Amino acid sequence: MDNISLGSLLLALVVILILSAFFSASETGMMALNRIRLNHLVRKGSKSAKLTAKLLKHTDRLLGSILFGNTLLNAAAASLTGLIMLRLFGSNDWSLLAGTVGISLILLVFSEIMPKIIAASHPERIALFASYILVPLNKLVYPVVSIATAIVRGVLWLLRIKIQADQSKQKVSLDEVRMLVLEGEHFLPSQHQKMLLNLVDIERIAVNDVMIPRNQIEALNIGETPAVLREQLATCHHTLLPVYENELDNIIGILHVRRALGLLQREKFESDDLRELLLQAYFTPSDTTLLTQLHQFQQRNMRLGLVVDEYGDLLGLVTLENILEEIVGDFTTESPSRTGKFMRQMDGSIFVEGGTLLRDLNRKLNLNFPLDGAKTLNGIILDHLQDIPEAGTSVKISGYPIEIIQTQDRVVKVAKIRIEPFTQSVRND
């Protein structure tokens, strides 16, 4: 060592500090790297991404190699600092102490904190670059690291601590997917973002949240006279109609109106002629999620399902259009029974039909009614009052003043909601 010049020692120390900074940055970059983004780059064929993914499949080996290299470099930095201090000040306890404190501070600032901050800000760039160096290093120090890793695994096993070596295999929850979509607002048009969020949420929404309630079902009573049936078929607003006999709970099938056009051209037809055209009715439990129901429609090649409760009683019906509207927004080709639910007044209040779904109110009027109980405006009013209200009754639910305008057959037909100015815009999604 006496033959080595002071300048060479200083240069070696600088190189060691740079290499130590590299290892520190590599560790942070690898751990902070977005695994979804990495998998995307792998699928695109990026060589550096493939190397990085290979390293991250064995996180214990990767960290072992990085820490092994960093430990050796830090120890070498301390030894070189001691030699430099001896050359400059001779054998002096205070000089050695000052050298130790100085190199510790330099390592902390320039080889630990600063490179890790940079790597945390640019993990992808650092990790992909470092992979070219870490892969051969991983193979070089494998014997030493494997022994250390085996010891670590043994200790963790004794402590009953489970580890997952391949972090890229971690599952992403629906909440995390939703957060990814929300964070992508700068890259996605707002309408596309809403559709993606709605698509994520259909796993949580049940058919009874979006169904057409029982009292709004357009259906045919096959027990009516042929003249009445002819009139109903000629004026119906849907292509698929449930057909019942005497009572709505007694559904006997589904009629595709197009198949009945031939009957309308006859001068006379009997109800038995209509029976022959009926398709088998499909019933679905009220707590079926929209995603499951969408799969059921696809597998059965159907577009309409009758929703029943746990006792088999008919609650309403759900169509393929109801589910699609939850994803892409309302269609413009709505039937008359589903239009005109909102009527804005000059004073800023809005008249709303009592049978309107709370989900529609929240989505179209930017309101915040709770969705874990009643499904309609009428339902939440009755739950709040625990009574059938009379016209003129006023209540305040979720901070929104509501006045009952009209009641009929023990339900609220029309109510007026007063909305604050900042929530008055009706959305057309």
State the DSSP code for 257: G
pLDDT tens over the chain, length 429 residues: 556 777 888 899 999 999 999 999 999 999 998 887 888 899 998 999 999 999 888 888 888 889 999 999 999 998 888 888 888 887 777 888 888 899 899 999 999 999 999 999 999 999 999 999 999 998 888 888 888 888 888 888 888 877 664 555 556 677 777 777 777 767 777 777 788 888 888 888 889 888 888 888 889 998 888 888 888 888 888 889 999 998 998 999 999 988 888 877 777 777 788 888 899 999 999 999 999 999 999 999 999 999 999 888 999 999 998 898 888 876 654 444 444 467 777 777 888 888 888 888 887 888 888 888 888 888 899 998 888 888 889 999 988 899 999 888 888 889 999 876 544 444 444
Type of residue at 116:
K
> Structure tokens of 9?
């020692």
Number of alpha helices (DSSP H) and beta strands (DSSP E) in the chain: 18, 12
Asked if 107 and 17 touch (Cβ cutoff 8 Å), the reply is: yes
192-199 contacts, C-beta under 8 A, 24 or more apart: 194/329, 194/429, 195/327, 195/328, 195/329, 198/326, 198/327, 198/328, 199/327
**What's the confidence (pLDDT) of residue 355?**
84
**What's the confidence (pLDDT) of residue 338?**
44
pTM for the model:
0.59
**What's the confidence (pLDDT) of residue 17?**
93
The backbone torsions φ and ψ at residue 357, rounded to the nearest 5 degrees and listed phi first, read -65, 140
Asked if 215 and 355 touch (Cβ cutoff 8 Å), the reply is: yes
> Could you say which architecture CATH assigns to the domain 340-423?
2-Layer Sandwich (3.30)
- The secondary element (H helix, E strand) that includes residue 294 is helix 290-300
Instruction: Decide: helix, strand or coil at residue 223.
Output: coil
Domain boundaries defined on the chain: 6-169, 171-201, 207-328, 340-423
3-state helix, strand, coil in the chain (%, to 5): 55, 15, 30
What is the Cα–Cα distance from 9 to 1, expressed in whole angstroms?
Answer: 9
The backbone torsions φ and ψ at residue 38, rounded to the nearest 5 degrees and listed phi first, read -65, -45
What is the Cα–Cα distance from 212 to 218, expressed in whole angstroms?
Answer: 10
What is the Cα–Cα distance from 294 to 108, expressed in whole angstroms?
Answer: 57
**What's the confidence (pLDDT) of residue 348?**
73
Class of domain 207-328: alpha beta
